[in-house]
Amino acid sequence: MKIKSQSGVTMISLIIYISSFLVIAGLIAGITSFFYNNTSLMDEEVYSAAEYNKLNMYLVKESEQKGNRILDIKLNDNNMIYIEFSNGNRYTLDKTSNLLYYNSICLCEDVKDFTVEKEYNSGKEVLKVKVDFTNKSYTTKYTMAQ
């Protein structure tokens, strides 16, 4: 009696195909989840950078204005930190809401701390600003125009 050769898909080859498919799908899922977790971290960092860039733009404008001086830097009793310039502009951090205001306009959100110091360098007034967001901190010095 002659045995015919069986061609086609056997049970063992089917199990090998399915298990290799599951391994490849698992690897792709792992890589994808790693990628999406990192993009959310990047979104938070880009957000704080965008918020700081808005503040930086306004403070550069203040420092370039001729005759503009730093009048007052205070922490008042209402849990607010502010800096006031001679042109009438005021930057205020409301620590209860974590909002930074330019006059009455909300300039930055999610601000944890706003530290401002007045220094002098080569006879010029220098404003040192440190802004802390939830996940990033920025420090910049602005030399006031004469």
Residue 41's pLDDT is 62
Here the contacts of 112-115 (C-beta below 8 Å, separation 24 or greater) are 114/81, 115/81
Q: Lowest-confidence range among 43-47, 65-69, 72-76, 132-136? A: 43-47
- Give the tens place of pLDDT for each residue, 101-118: 999 999 998 898 888 888
Task: Report DSSP letters for 71-119, one per residue.
Answer: EEEEEETTTEEEEEETTS-EEEEETTTTEEEETTEEEESSEEEEEEEEE
Q: Percent of the chain scored above 90 by pLDDT? A: 37
Q: Does the pLDDT value for residue 9 go beyond 70? A: no
Alpha carbon of 19 to those of 8, 24, 74: distances in Å? 18, 9, 67
Residue 61's pLDDT is 93
Answer yes or no: pTM beyond 0.75.
no
**pLDDT, mean of residues 90-94:** 90
Residue 90's pLDDT is 92
Q: Lowest-confidence range among 44-48, 94-98, 122-126? A: 44-48
State the amino acid at position 10 in one-letter form. Answer: T
Sheet strand arrangement including 90-94: 70-76, 80-85, 90-94, 99-102, 105-108
Q: Does the pLDDT value for residue 26 go beyond 70? A: yes
Pairing of strands 124-133, 137-143: antiparallel
Residue 59's pLDDT is 93
